[in-house]
Structure 1
């Protein structure tokens, strides 16, 4: 008499959770160690007895506030600009689509410091556009909070665009076609049918955008500088603290990790089902 198979198993195929080859399992565990090891080391070195005192110092709170405010504004701007851009890419309005998509995702693979230099050449006092801002309005965004938001926006918005475009390409078109047959305009259909259907993709993209903006360093320090109370975000404050107070730097790093985890955990059920 043969042993009963587990429910849902298929003949000739291991049941879910079946044993992997040892080599694959070992390499997978090694990959986990590579990712988790730095976090464990950070937790081990953290000055837990002074954590609250270090995180509530005026400089740390100021840097955290700038980081959160900048990342929030950058995410809102990314939603306003990125969702329509993703719709353009998904519909193929601009051609060649592949070239346009390539240009959109370039900031995801470029070194952030290069993005900072590019922003300087565009919006700096002598930049392509910045020179006119200086001449006409006696203002340039460099070394201001606006520069922080712009740098975070350019670096982080591609993450939202990619997520939203993928959601648009995989959506069900039946509801939109029904709306058209009932006389709804394209704009009405987009905002009331399409956007609600892809809300999970928008939410996931917004979370990735916010998280990327929150941790931005290279483009910010190059384009916005490191002015305390004006452009010094948490990553910049951590880097500066490493040169004078290791414990303060580690405490702020732990605080930033915890904040990122709270964002992911708080949104996992609705926007990031893969984390459930």
Structure 2
């Protein structure tokens, strides 16, 4: 198999999309996970359902909804373009948005389980010593849930790297702009004689996935030690 500049560009763009999707989504995932784990309020089930909706909706439906909301004529998309000149549809930033939304439920679930495993008595004890809620969260909760955050980030990255349905619906598969590894594999499979390129991208996908899992295990052990 021969690595061409086009294949390297596809891999680089995929990493860029997955990294930004993970980086931007992770703080929101931590906040939502804490809210769902520590609070009970009217509408809790609705919030929980909305968070996990991308897991059960067909990815193409999610991509279509993103196009309706964030497209140039969408409610949010038109506002972003008119005020800031930002266009998400058919841009790599839109691919990152779609990948982040699809990865978000996995991140929230992993972090939420970690938060629920933390003894609230430890947080209460820190609060009785005069620590503010933010300081308790930063100095007590976060260190205890660090393995869960790492697991959520790795799951989110892996999901974002492999996202196809929502991404191709929202941003298409424009070579050099929005064509990620999954959409490139799909496109190359339709072209005779491209088996070598397909195998190269499949191999890279497997390497990245295994590397992410190994790294997460190593980081989790370092955090616990």
Same fold (TM over 0.5): yes
Alpha-carbon distance, 1:175 to partner: 2.3
**Partners of 1:211 and 1:184 in 2: CA distance:** 36
**Partners of 1:200 and 1:137 in 2: CA distance:** 38
Q: 1:72 to 1:138 in 2, by over 3 A?
A: closer
**Partners of 1:70 and 1:93 in 2: CA distance:** 34
1:72 aligns with 2:6: no
Equivalence map 1:221-232=2 (5 Å)? 221-232=168-179
SS of residue paired to 1:268: helix
**Partners of 1:230 and 1:94 in 2: CA distance:** 43
- Runs of 5+ in structure 1 lacking a partner? 1-49
2:199 maps to which residue? 250
TM-score by length of 1: 0.76
SS of residue paired to 1:129: helix
1:147 aligns with 2:94: yes
> In angstroms, what is the RMSD of aligned CA positions?
1.7
2:145 maps to which residue? 198
Q: Which moved more, 1:250-259 or 1:217-226?
A: 250-259
1:90 to 37, 42, 50: 37
1:167 maps to which residue? 114
Query: Hey, which of these two has a bigger chunk of helix by percent?
Result: 2
Aligned residues: 220
**Partners of 2:176 and 2:95 in 1: CA distance:** 12
Higher RCO, Cα 8 Å, sep 6+: 2
Q: Which runs of 4+ in 1 moved over 6 A?
A: none
1:176 maps to which residue? 123
**Partners of 1:138 and 1:262 in 2: CA distance:** 37
Alpha-carbon distance, 1:174 to partner: 2.8
2:49 to 102, 110, 113: 102
TM-score by length of 2: 0.92
Q: Which moved more, 1:134-143 or 1:71-80?
A: 134-143
Does the CA-based 8 Å contact 1:147-1:224 persist in structure 2? yes
